[in-house]
Amino acid sequence: MIQAISQDAYNRNVERAIKNQPIRKTVPLGSVEIVNQNIIQVDGNRLPITKKAFSQLARILGVPVTFQKRVDKLFSEEATSSIVNKMKEAMAIQGINTVCLVASVIDRQIVGVLKNEKEIISNKAFFESIGGVISDHNLIVRDFSVNSSGGIYINTLSPTSGWDITGFKDEYFQGGMSFYNNPEDGFKISPYMNRLVCLNGAIGEAFSETHRVKYITNSHLADFYETINRFAKHGFKPHSFDDRVKSAMNTMASYAELEAAAELITSTSGLERKDISKWSSIVETSAAYERHGMSPMLMSPEQKRNAKTGTPIWDVINGLTHYSTHDSGVIIGDEDRRCIQRSAGDLFCARHDMENVISSPF
């Protein structure tokens, strides 16, 4: 049985989301000065900016994310800021004269930077667009959160959806949709999967059914509704789901994959590695490598990606989804829960480090 939130809780969150709708303002590009990756200055006023918003600004100015990371690693954040400022001047010469700044109404932090203010869809328009979808497909709202930036995250399940994996006992799933609207990602929908044996939930952004609504126009909404209807006809089961499950069950995680999952748990819970054995085998695995004479602390990132563990990818994924879905006595913010569920979905869809390893005759 799917546990749904109450109608009162849903209504309260809708009211909160509309109240916390981010404010937006189009400003001359020349008035924006990058102080560093955490602060920009607009007409002499210093404003904090999130890392994602800074990356959006850099992309608008033609600085790829991979280049930003490389400069940060080799030089400093100040070097990246200097490059972005120079690119700003060059883009102004090319005719890009304005940008839209999106700010949180709670702390006035810049949470998004867009080329055009029409690229951000209001929370009210978002609810008007998804209300009929949830009703028409009898979707049950499993959880609903609103963050400090006014971002909305809603996970739903279809009570008529369900499938198993041939040849695997106790692997039965229900499907639905995740709906979200925020300044970083815009208005997007993705598959949401629920593993019934433990009621763990994961968000599959990397599946082909993920769709972004860029503008509220008749044509964009028609594409949105068509995507939903097509997915519903397949029982809300993502394409290639069975193959990804079998691959995750039969592929051992690399130390890098296991460590990344463990760090998601420790960074959001405040727990130490020794306290997360319920969700991760990182302590036992590290000890095994120490006994083997190869300390993980001395491994390079490349070596960690090539270091096989005894933990299947499937167990790593289910550790993340169990931690992020259930109340285990650890205080986890709603935004962190959604982030980890998306990370679990990303790992599920990814090509894994050990996936193409074969036995060698040499």
- Which of 247-267 are b and which e, b meaning 16 or more Cβ less than 10 Å from the residue's Cβ? bbeebbbbbbbbbbbbebbee
Residues 6+ apart with CB under 8 A from 235: 158, 160, 161, 162, 163, 175
| pLDDT score recorded for residue 306 | 95
pLDDT level of residue 149 (50, 70, 90 thresholds): confident
The 10 Å CB-count burial string (b at 16+, else e) for 72-84 is: eeeeeeeebbebb
Spatial separation of the C-alpha atoms in residues 313 and 296, rounded to whole Å = 19
Give the other-Cβ count within 10 Å of 303's Cβ: 14
- Whether 148 shows a pLDDT value over 90: the answer reads no
pLDDT tens for 190-203 read 999 988 766 677 78
Mean pLDDT computed over every residue of the chain: 87
% of the chain beyond a pLDDT of 70? 89
Average pLDDT over residues 55-78: 64
> For residue 74, what pLDDT is reported?
46
pLDDT tens sequence across 312-326: 999 999 999 999 888
pLDDT per position as a tens digit, 11-41: 999 999 999 999 999 998 888 888 888 898 8
Number of H helices, E strands in the chain: 12, 15
**Structure confidence at residue 264 (pLDDT):** 96
Is residue 282 predicted with pLDDT exceeding 70?
Answer: yes
The DSSP bridge partners found for residue 267 are none
Statement: residue 347 has pLDDT above 80:
yes
Helix (H) or strand (E) run with residue 190 in it? strand 186-195
* Alpha-helical segments (H) within 234-330: 241-250, 255-269, 282-291, 301-305, 313-325
Contact (Cβ atoms closer than 8 angstroms) between residue 148 and residue 127: no
Number of residues in the chain: 362
